[in-house]
Amino acid sequence: MREPVIPHSRPSLGAAEAEAAGAVLRSGQVAQGPEVAAFEAEVAARMGLRGGVAVASGTAALHLALMALKVGPGDAVLFPSYTCAAVLHAVRLAGAEALPADVDPATGNLDPDAARRARTPRCRALILVHAFGWPADVEAFRALGLPIIEDCAQALGATAGGRPVGSRGEAAVCSFYATKIIATGEGGMLLSDRPEVLAVARDLRAYDEAPDARLRFNYKMTDLQAAVGRIQLGRLPELLGRRASIADTYRKALADAPVTLPAEVPGRIYYRFVVRVPGGAEAALEAFARRGITCRRPVHTPLHRLVGREGFPGAEEAWRTSLSLPCAPALTEGEVARVAEAARAILGRREP
């Protein structure tokens, strides 16, 4: 009998999340309410920030962060090309010009020199993504003189210099999509130490009973999602520990393989376990699929391609060579062992 397919990601949800959701359903208060307020306070405290604004998605959080920083038509926003398309869409929602810049293929993070070259006089903000749980060096970008939005969608719980990732920029955003570090199904949050940023985001996430006709959105999170998120946040150390344990298993399995393993950087987390395959990842992806194991390119399409730009060698190299192994906390020990065995065979070049 063929073994079940191992998915690349799956959420780690259990009885506590089900009970929290059930309590909200029994209460009758399922839209934005006290659970959302509590979730905002708890995430902000975890990240060492003044406050948070829970919204419907990470994309919505990015959009509101740009608007709160007064980015709009006629402006431009700088961001790494090698990242999720949500960044591009948020910039376009704000009406700004998208300015992708190249990345360091060894980390997947924005390259400071490339960012400096890509910056134009119309730049009004920088979205700095902490790729796959690897903290980007925020201070390396301060010389650009731009407000920084830290995209922590893949890095909740990571630290840099002893401080939580997300605590150094003018704003931070998180995503709580089903496959993120903590999951509420859909959802996101904007966080900041700046009261004016938080106030604008709170004002714009809902349009009911507004005092004027300013464009606003239906970007609210529900209490149902927030209740699940609060349980997930309480489990964050457990979830991150499980990811680290899986990463350690893969690291040992691939110690002698002719691939580049993710660096063991202080403070990083393992949202993805990304290996770089000399010669390209395509054949390995197909080989894992034949074994019923779903691996992925960690970025579907570099964003410079989507806007018709060329000349991004770091992003192209990262896309060509990078492969993400399943690293979700919900994987069973048997599934992790199966992935490790396949990785030894495929990436260790013991099978075609």
Which of 324, 328, 56 has its CA nearest to residue 177?
A: 56
Alpha-carbon Rg for the chain, nearest whole angstrom, is 20
Helix segments in 70-154, DSSP class H: 85-93, 112-118
Question: Using an 8 Å Cβ cutoff, are 217 and 304 in contact?
Answer: no
Task: Bin 133: left if φ > 0, else alpha if -120 < ψ < 50, else beta.
Answer: left
Task: Bin 20: left if φ > 0, else alpha if -120 < ψ < 50, else beta.
Answer: alpha
Number of Cβ within 10 Å of residue 98's Cβ equals 21
Q: How far apart are CA 151 and CA 144, in angstroms?
A: 17
70 among known catalytic residues: no
Q: How far apart are CA 136 and CA 113, in angstroms?
A: 14
Catalytic residues: 180
